[in-house]
Structure 1
Amino acid sequence: MADRLSKEHRSWNMSRVRCENTKPEKMLRSMLHRTGYRFRVNVAGIPGKPDIVLKKYRTVIFVDGCFWHRHEGCKKASMPKTRRSFWENKFQENIERDLRQTKQLQEHGWNVIRIWECELEKSPDLSLEAVVKKIQEVI
């Protein structure tokens, strides 16, 4: 099946995909701040450049996009119909990188929390409760 968009237009679309300061990240940061947690964002010196770093609790939080990080069973984790082998390789590399980064962080004494974007969209308050509970479990 051919792509309905030209190569240039597809490239333009993909260049608009954000990797930092996404809406789900901003929602979670806002909720955490209101709850009294203080944090840093996108700290480059930490493996994986986590979305949120709670240094006081040695905890990092990643807000993973369902499409890019392959949230199993999520409707947002659909497979593109064109260039299927490219996408399968791309997604597999993303999953393997996530696992590597999580392992590396844990080996350096960090607690790692991963939140799916759809969890924040469906029920922001429940997601915040889950995150706060995970943070409290590690402190």
Structure 2
Amino acid sequence: MRSNAMAKIKSTGTKPETKLKKCLWDMGIRYRKCSFNLPGNPDLSFVKYKLVVFVDGSFWHGHDWGSKRYQIRSNREFWISKIERNRQRDQEINHFYLRNGWRVLRFWDFEIKKELGTCVKKILDVLTQHPKSPY
């Protein structure tokens, strides 16, 4: 039963991700979405400006992991190893992009829900710093 419920959780097209995309699109900022050909499958990519954006779920990517890991009650061993591997993979992906001259922005799902304007401003700041930027 639990696995059926967990299988229904989407990895793309989440509400926070959709909210960010809609805001950027309404501002005339164009992007590529869910670039499966880029490592880590970024939620948004600006290939011309070498910028990738990830919208990370608090649970899946271990927000405040130092204290949250102790709150997991059922199937602890499985979930702790899964989330720690997700966190490690996030770091590996960040290092890959940084080594190759890309910029990486990661937002927590709750940041987009509560502070959408701040998140959009961070994206715009990176885009406007690029020499080819029309923004």
TM-score calculated relative to the size of structure 2: 0.86
Q: What are structure 2's unaligned runs of at least 5 residues?
A: none
Q: What are structure 1's unaligned runs of at least 5 residues?
A: 1-8
Q: Give the 3 Å change call, closer, same or farther, for CA 15–29 of structure 1 in structure 2.
A: same
Aligned pair 1:12/2:4, yes or no? yes
The offset of 1:127, in angstroms, is 2.2
Contact 1:62 1:115 in 2 (8 A): yes
The residue type paired with residue 55 of structure 2 is V
Contact 1:113 1:134 in 2 (8 A): no
RMSD of the alignment, in Å? Answer: 2.1
The offset of 1:36, in angstroms, is 2.0
Alignment partner of 1:69: what SS?
Answer: coil
The offset of 1:76, in angstroms, is 8.5
Structure 1 counterpart of 2:119: 127
Structure 2 counterpart of 1:48: 40
Q: Give the 3 Å change call, closer, same or farther, for CA 134–78 of structure 1 in structure 2.
A: farther
Identity %: 32
Structure 1 counterpart of 2:80: 88
Structure 2 counterpart of 1:99: 91
Moved over 6 A (4+): 75-78
Deviations 1:7-65 (A, max 9, x none): xx211110111101111111111111122211111112211011100112110000000
